[in-house]
Amino acid sequence: MTVQNNRLGIWLMIATTFVFSVQDGISRYLASEYNVYMVLMVRYWFFAAFVITIASRNSGGVFAAARTSQPMLQAFRALLLVVEIAVTVEAFVRLGLVETHAVFACYPLLIAALSGPVLGETVGWRRWAAIGIGFVGVLIILQPGVTVFQPAAIIPLIAALMFALYGLLTRYAARRDSAATSFFWTGTVGALGITAVGLFYWEPMTQSDWLWMAVLCVTGVLGHWFLIKCYEVAEASAVQPFAYLQLVFASTIGILIFNETLRPNVAIGGAVVVMAGLFTLWRARAKAG
């Protein structure tokens, strides 16, 4: 039995968000130089190798990890995540890390809003109010009607919706499958799906960019390893609020490395979204308690 250590879990979550932010920065660079499908394909090859290695070391090996009574659900959520990552990376290129993450931060609110129709959970009026306030924050970021609205600004919102649906389907799958099984299907089916597309978009890369690709793959594996360890040692409700630090880390990388700017409406709207998200997490924890 694993001893609960929320303090260690918090530090692991902080490390996770930092590593994933670095991964986002590298993805933004590579996808601006090469095709996003090829970049994701190579990244997923390493991810698949990682999940297969993890599965082979667990009891029962790869066959035990792959065993599921809901293969269509597992395959769909794995492919949904691939599409979501592709859309998010495209948003990085078009909008930058700052604005993409400010909008994407609304995904916990979308999970709360969709948990009723998808999982049959009850969402009280307080959480509905927080969801509404959070989407006011998204409108502050997007500024529809105030400036000339960029169609690209809707891309991170679409990505957030897909990631929320992926999260809900993962929770739904967990009713009958272990986390190890879901993780295995995520990596392997995702790799097969993106390879079927990415091979048609192969481009030659420079030697220096192959080094960046290698770092991207390592950060992906390291980030997932940190996340697995985080949930092994700590309660999810204790560490989840610290996941919002990815907005801070990614925005810092965007400003310092890619010369992005933090517009006042993005800062204000992002703060509103995060506060609303933290409130929904607190209400969910209070209700569970």
pLDDT in tens, 247-285: 899 999 999 999 998 888 888 888 888 888 888 777 766
User: Is pLDDT of 153 > 60?
Assistant: yes
| Residue 144 lies inside a defined structural domain of this protein | yes
Specify the pLDDT at position 259. 93
* Closest by Cα among 29, 11, 22 to 250: 22
| Residue 230 lies inside a defined structural domain of this protein | yes
Specify the pLDDT at position 147. 47
Distance CA 92, CA 22 (A): 13
Q: Containing domain of residue 144, as a range?
A: 6-288
| Residue 180 lies inside a defined structural domain of this protein | yes
* Closest by Cα among 117, 222, 227, 230 to 164: 117
Task: Describe the crossing of helices 207-233 and 6-33 by its angle, rounded to 10 degrees.
Answer: 160
Q: Hey, which residues does 144 pair with through a beta bridge?
A: 147
* Closest by Cα among 142, 40, 28 to 94: 28
| Residue 172 lies inside a defined structural domain of this protein | yes
pLDDT band with cut points at 50, 70 and 90 for residue 81: very high
* Closest by Cα among 162, 175, 161, 181 to 79: 162
Cα dist. 148→103, 136, 279 in Å? 18, 18, 32
Question: 10 Cβ partners below 8 Å, 6+ apart?
Answer: 234, 238, 239, 242
Is residue 50 within 8 Å of 179, Cβ to Cβ?
no
pLDDT digits (tens, 9 = 90+) for 184-221: 999 999 999 999 999 999 999 999 999 999 999 999 88
What three-state secondary structure class fits 144?
A: strand
Distance CA 251, CA 95 (A): 12
Specify the pLDDT at position 240. 77
* Closest by Cα among 243, 261, 280, 284 to 105: 243
Question: 7 Cβ partners below 8 Å, 6+ apart?
Answer: none
* Mean pLDDT (whole number) for 131-156: 74
| Residue 123 lies inside a defined structural domain of this protein | yes
Distance CA 91, CA 81 (A): 15
| Residue 55 lies inside a defined structural domain of this protein | yes
| Residue 1 lies inside a defined structural domain of this protein | no
At 115, the amino acid letter reads S
Cα dist. 232→6, 169, 220 in Å? 10, 21, 18
| Residue 15 lies inside a defined structural domain of this protein | yes
pLDDT band with cut points at 50, 70 and 90 for residue 1: very low
Specify the pLDDT at position 245. 87
Cα dist. 183→52, 69, 81, 228, 245 in Å? 10, 15, 12, 10, 23
Q: What's the predicted TM-score (pTM) here?
A: 0.87
Give the single-character DSSP code of 2. P
For the chain, the domain total comes to 1
Helices (H) and strands (E) in the chain, counts: 13, 0
